Amino acid sequence: MKNLIRLLTLLLFVSLNIDTQAQKPKKIEQTVFTCNLDCSSCETKIMRSIPYEKGVKDVKVDFAKKEVVVEYKKSKNSDQNLIKAFKKIGYKARVKNDSIKPIYQQKE
In-domain check, residue 31: yes
What is the CATH classification number for the domain harbouring 93?
3.30.70.100
In-domain check, residue 43: yes
Distance, in Å, from the CA atom of 81 to the CA atom of 93, rounded to the nearest integer, reads 11
Quote the domain boundaries for residue 93. 25-105
In-domain check, residue 56: yes
Residue 6 pLDDT level (bands cut at 50, 70, 90): confident
Higher pLDDT, 22 or 91: 91
* Per-residue pLDDT, 58: 96
In-domain check, residue 2: no
Domains: count for the chain: 1
Section 39-61 average pLDDT:
93
Distance, in Å, from the CA atom of 24 to the CA atom of 77, rounded to the nearest integer, reads 19
Model confidence, pTM? 0.69
3-state secondary structure of 70: strand
In-domain check, residue 34: yes
Residue 8 pLDDT level (bands cut at 50, 70, 90): low
In-domain check, residue 44: yes
User: Are 70 and 59 contacting, i.e. CB atoms less than 8 angstroms apart?
Assistant: yes
